Amino acid sequence: MKPQRDRGSVAPEARGATNLRLGVSGIRLTGSHGVDPRERERGNRFEVDVECVCRNVDAVETDELADTVDYRAITDLVRETSSRHAFNLIESLAGAIAAALLKTFPMISETVVRVSKLAPPGLSDVDRTKAEVTRRRG
């Protein structure tokens, strides 16, 4: 009888470069982003979705948090980027978040950031507007 492997372990011959797609959806925040001065004064509600492609992720085999990108760290970075600067456009906010993710987490090779402005002022009967930015490591 063959011994069972520990959870997450892979035979050495099966290991190789592993790419992983991970994400966090529905990060809700309030920010002073918008073109209209009233939007900046009272703030708007936003929702952010992040997807990341990570190279050579050992966590697939090790089952250790230290070997991947922590979802909490991604969420904290999104909130910090939004609170650090007021953007006119959600396109710019999405781009800044994507750039910060690539700068902060060397394991990430590509990221897609979607920013939605919920109940955008001036657009009656519209649930949200959204912008999506994809950035890759050069």
3-state percent breakdown (helix, strand, coil) of the chain, nearest 5: 35, 30, 35
Three-state SS for 96?
Answer: helix
CA-based end-to-end distance of the chain: 49
Single out the catalytic residue among 2, 103, 117, 130: 117
Extract the tokens encoding 131: 């912008």
Please confirm, yes or no, whether 117 is among the known catalytic residues: yes
Cβ(133)–Cβ(113) below 8 Å: yes
- Residues recognised as catalytic: 117
